Amino acid sequence: MNEKIKDILLNKVLKYLVWIGGVVFIYSGVYWLGWRYALARTITLVVALLLVYYINKKWLIPRFFLPKKNAWYIFLAFATYVTMLFCIMTLDEQYWSLVSDSALKDIIEFYHSMVEEQGQQPTRETLYRPEFAFAFSSIYVLLTLFVSTSLELANIDKKRKEKAKQLNMEKTKAELKFLKSQINPHFLFNALNNIYSMSYMKMDQAPETVAKLSDMLRYMLYDCSNDLVELYKEVDYINNYIDFQNLKTANENKVEFGVEMENPKAKVTPMLFEPLVENAFKYSRIDEYPEGNIWIKLVQKGEYLDFVIQNSVAPDRERESVGGIGLENLKQRLVLSYPEEHKLVYKRQGNDFFVKLSIRMEN
């Protein structure tokens, strides 16, 4: 069952239990005066308290308390208190005639000494003590006002937090979508260029290359629209990406890509590794420099994944700060997708650049 539905049902059940408990408490408190009086007083009090509860919740709080019209709220809450108390006291005096004879006898015995000292003959009317009814009724009404205010404010605060959380989630999704859309589009132009050249030269690899590009586009357009993808699909994309980049170099052995996957269907954020691989090709320039090389390793065990790249830096790139927009983009995506669950380390080691990305994936 949905957690939200569970919370709603739990809140409703608790609310009904509180009201039932209140009814039982009020009834049992005056039951010794006879069931007819106890029933009449309980019904009157419960109806009055329900009116106080909902008048405060539905009208006073939203119209006066929340807009900070404090003077009006205090005045109207006090007016509600006085009105309900007056109604309860008026009816309670009428209900006194319903008190059982045995209860009256007990009351007479309890007050016997006081009645004798005053020289009064006890009657049903003289035994009625409005101050007791007033005291208990006041406590009930004031407690209801306090509880209804507290619960409604807590509920409003909860809704405000849920709304803020929802807005934050929507903002995060929008940011991720924007960051995904920034993933290097010029790669596609280069790939199409290569395919065109291969077709023009009537090379045998052209159909296979078109199929690979088709797979990559399908992955980017459909799979990448999801929050998570299966790890093997991300690995397939990287393999295809490397194959396309290798079309520009005569020596494919300059690039090594090792993979150890314990669970190929483990879930990972899409296009997470592409910026790092693209960065390696960009700064190594293996298509122009014979000494250039790229070494890539992906290891996944359980919920942990390490992605390591070490690449040479071309002489004409040595003075540039390795990284650029792609790496900054990746950092932002990691913060949004794996908050407190990732570690990205990168550094220059002589003529090489080293990057290690470690993440803890969702189960």
Please state the rounded mean pLDDT for residues 317-321. 63
Residues 152 and 276 grouped into a single domain? no
Please state the rounded mean pLDDT for residues 290-300. 92
Residues 146 and 234 grouped into a single domain? no
- Span 146-157, pLDDT tens digits: 988 988 888 888
Tell me which of 173, 197, 215 is where a domain ends. Answer: 173
Q: Kindly indicate the confidence band of residue 124, based on its pLDDT and cuts at 50, 70 and 90.
A: low
Q: Determine the Cα–Cα distance for residues 19 and 9; give it in Å rounded to an integer.
A: 15
Using a pLDDT cut of 70, give the percent of the chain over it: 71
Please state the rounded mean pLDDT for residues 217-226. 82
Residue 296 is predicted with a pLDDT of 96
Q: Determine the Cα–Cα distance for residues 354 and 312; give it in Å rounded to an integer.
A: 9
Residues 88 and 163 grouped into a single domain? yes
Residues 228 and 115 grouped into a single domain? no
Name which of 25, 10, 13, 33 is nearest 143 in CA terms.
Answer: 25
CA distances from 179 to 92, 184, 315, 341 (A): 70, 10, 31, 19
CA distances from 28 to 23, 35, 88, 207 (A): 8, 10, 18, 87
Q: Kindly indicate the confidence band of residue 100, based on its pLDDT and cuts at 50, 70 and 90.
A: low
What is the CB-side half-sphere exposure of residue 306 using CA atoms within 13 A? 10
Residues 64 and 203 grouped into a single domain? no
Q: Kindly indicate the confidence band of residue 232, based on its pLDDT and cuts at 50, 70 and 90.
A: very high
Residues 71 and 219 grouped into a single domain? no
Residues 35 and 121 grouped into a single domain? yes
Residues 142 and 17 grouped into a single domain? yes
Phi and psi at residue 193, in whole multiples of 5°? -60, -45
- Span 1-29, pLDDT tens digits: 566 666 667 767 777 777 777 767 776 76
Residues 168 and 19 grouped into a single domain? yes
Domain assignment of residue 75, given as a range: 3-173
Q: Determine the Cα–Cα distance for residues 198 and 212; give it in Å rounded to an integer.
A: 14
Name which of 261, 25, 306, 11 is nearest 140 in CA terms.
Answer: 25
